[in-house]
Structure 1
């Protein structure tokens, strides 16, 4: 063997360096392991990680305002809400175009519902305005039509604002449709997607933008044809505003057809009767004359908002900053505190009741303990709703428990205990439901504790209590930790049992989350409450890990 061979890298059987061959084998092994867990990983991502990420996004997402009122959100930025006056015509004109487009897409009611979370009455205000906004601009439409009837012709509008390539595509589409009708064939080809004339959009930006929204709305509504429908009256308002704002030289840059239509209108609009937009909106509803309504729109125009999280901690975002909620609306901090305190009380009750039962099961003969363990597991075979409903029967003032207490003389008939629709009923019912989750970890740990340890302690002179407390109990602590974590996390997220037996004073924050998801449909606030609850649980878990150590938790 030469010196070079002795000092060179070690080779595998195939002649490749051994280190490289080993790395390749390890990569292949890791890849096979990854492929084995890939289905489980995908399942966790889809069913656990994705919903949590969606919840976090919904808790700050506010894009419905900026998406539904894009022009208004831009125009209202410079308005001073402390002026005491509603916004000027620029904002009102932008709002008019946004609203008519939202009405056509049937989005104005959703927008009103969103803003109603911040100021009561806005939901009905937007519904009412949706019925009246289509008439705004009729004054200008009639004056343009009186100047030249062509302004009421849908085809003229389409030819004026459409890109030449769209007009060619539209002509071909109309020819194909006419040929199909002549031949008696069905024709399902959609109208070509409308494309705007960029040159005209530079000269008449507001009008072009409004007409583009109109064309898209028409095509989105059963694939209509923009060239067959006259534009909305608010489009004429935009045309009036554009023509009064531009110079005559701008129109001269357009083609002859556009100049022939726009030149007379450009000179005539200066003598048009001007519509008072502020008065029109006040006629629709007096609320539009209040700066607070517009200030709410301005405050919640950004695409993301901390408003849901502020509401979840009894604060409120206003145009002037963050303020505290009125005293009669401060409920969420109280609900969080109640949830934590009652969950800890339920956990403590489960420890006090579950520890003796688990100790008994662990130290009885196997046949007897198995029989009793079946009784512990029996509630799992019964519906949660049935068990909770049974407690409603047991706990009511005329129920079984009060009847027994009266019968044995502990209470008199007039002093029956109130055990339902309060915190007492919630704690009793949930302790019964969650008790098996405490017993099973305790039992599994206690079964691993050798009885000889206690006997050895007694043989060395320890009393029964000392042998239990100094020898047996420390070895059962991991089971207590596991049971406490299980019971507490389950209790803090329960909502069926508190809803049925808790009344107004025994409900948890989870009941409010369920209400906002299913009844009020305020998903943003529900997501914020859920996120805070998740953060609280993680913080408590971290605290437990720091104080006790999660590695000491043992399921046996």
Structure 2
């Protein structure tokens, strides 16, 4: 009787223990196999993105280079001018920053709030040794901007280790005396660059779809031999670097280039067209570069569409346009959407082609990121612009997912 009562427990526990052990071992082996890729992605993608997000709100300049002034201003009520001890601490730290050649970092941070304060900080640091107490008189005598309580209020506000100023600057906004306000029209460049980036990206998407759909259709309907030849033609640009392809368009589109000479010899134009350093050149060069990224998803979708459905639609009395609109196009929609998203996302981050072929009014948001990284050395603003571009890409992907769910 006791053996019978123990048998179900043994049969219930016995066979499952080895299976559970094998399953855990399988998961462990899978984790070990994937671990190098996970570590690589963590170090080369996740960590840089997190650091970029943090750098867009990080504010170390004032707190790190003017700690005594920041501590003194923390107890200031913001009315009138700070006391003599606070000004003395500021003069001493300006003098030390000038000796270490870091006044530019402090001034650049303040210049984001009020253009012109960079020169004020540099001038004050260079002449700090000549200033004598009372500083409430000698500082305004050096420059009247020091008599304005606003600059002291901004130094106090920027003593915080975290600030939204860089993110606001990407939207052409700043923290003013009465809250968040728009910057002067002459400094409103980032929102225009964002709109320009989306317009150029959308134009390239439309051009790639118009040019790529017929070729993808031909590849899907052609014989295997012709399809292989056309696939080689599509993949041929990948064998050349992006810089070389863009430089080739510089040669082709210039005033005495191949394109203008061919048009003149054919009698289509009488004088060279302006195809360089403008929006036309940017769209031509970017469309050429991005065209394969549209053709490949389209071809993958079109080759799976049964041709019998098209023939059935035609045999039932449908016109070619009706069959294309109501049968072929809906079946091709996943490939179209995938190509548009791929081309759109990649076009949003373009830098080399607009920089070489476009003019000053054709630079996209990536140009401003590169400028603040390598020329202005404003890493906070560059990171904030990168966050803005990242959010734009995220919204584009969310729109793509919503359209997929709608279908």
Q: Shift of residue 442 of structure 1?
A: 1.3
**Cα distance between partner residues in 2 of 1:113 and 1:348:** 41
Residue 119 (structure 1) aligns with: 114
**Cα distance between partner residues in 1 of 2:104 and 2:139:** 17
Contact 1:388 1:500 in 2 (8 A): yes
Q: Shift of residue 286 of structure 1?
A: 5.2
User: Which residues in structure 2 correspond to 1:402-417 (within 5 Å)?
Assistant: 402-413=260-271, 416-417=272-273
Contact 1:299 1:318 in 2 (8 A): no
Contact 1:308 1:528 in 2 (8 A): yes
Matched, 1:519 2:393: no
1:332 corresponds, among 190, 208, 216, to 190
User: Which residues in structure 2 correspond to 1:146-185 (within 5 Å)?
Assistant: none
2:89 corresponds, among 67, 73, 94, to 94
Matched, 1:362 2:212: no
**Cα distance between partner residues in 2 of 1:412 and 1:81:** 68
Q: CA RMSD for the aligned pairs?
A: 2.7
**Cα distance between partner residues in 2 of 1:99 and 1:464:** 77
Q: Shift of residue 326 of structure 1?
A: 0.6
Residue 492 (structure 1) aligns with: 348
1:504 corresponds, among 336, 360, 376, to 360
Give the structure-2-normalised TM-score.
0.89
- Rg (Cα) greater in structure: 1
**Cα distance between partner residues in 2 of 1:7 and 1:49:** 50
| SS across alignment from 1:10 | helix
**Cα distance between partner residues in 2 of 1:57 and 1:513:** 16
**Cα distance between partner residues in 1 of 2:87 and 2:79:** 18
| Residue 400 to residue 82, structure 1, CA distance change in 2 (3 Å) | farther
**Cα distance between partner residues in 1 of 2:171 and 2:262:** 44
User: Which residues in structure 2 correspond to 1:67-216 (within 5 Å)?
Assistant: 67-79=64-76, 81=78, 83=80, 86-102=81-97, 106-133=101-128
Give the gaps of 5 or more residues in structure 2.
Answer: none
Q: Shift of residue 330 of structure 1?
A: 1.1
Contact 1:316 1:322 in 2 (8 A): yes
Deviations 1:154-202 (A, max 9, x none): xxxxxxxxxxxxxxxxxxxxxxxxxxxxxxxxxxxxxxxxxxxxxxxxx
**Cα distance between partner residues in 2 of 1:80 and 1:405:** 71
Contact 2:341 2:400 in 1 (8 A): no
**Cα distance between partner residues in 1 of 2:328 and 2:285:** 30
Question: How many residues are treated as equivalent by the alignment?
Answer: 406
Contact 2:172 2:187 in 1 (8 A): yes
Residue 149 (structure 1) aligns with: none
1:451 corresponds, among 291, 307, 310, to 307
Contact 1:340 1:492 in 2 (8 A): yes
Give the gaps of 5 or more residues in structure 1.
Answer: 138-274
Residue 65 (structure 1) aligns with: 62
Residue 50 (structure 1) aligns with: 47
User: Which residues in structure 2 correspond to 1:173-322 (within 5 Å)?
Assistant: 275-282=133-140, 287-322=145-180
Residue 25 (structure 1) aligns with: 22
Contact 1:426 1:501 in 2 (8 A): yes
Q: Shift of residue 382 of structure 1?
A: 2.0
Contact 2:281 2:358 in 1 (8 A): yes
**Cα distance between partner residues in 1 of 2:5 and 2:211:** 77
**Cα distance between partner residues in 2 of 1:78 and 1:132:** 27
**Cα distance between partner residues in 2 of 1:429 and 1:505:** 16
Residue 472 (structure 1) aligns with: 328
| Residue 6 to residue 69, structure 1, CA distance change in 2 (3 Å) | same
| Residue 459 to residue 108, structure 1, CA distance change in 2 (3 Å) | same
Q: Shift of residue 282 of structure 1?
A: 4.5
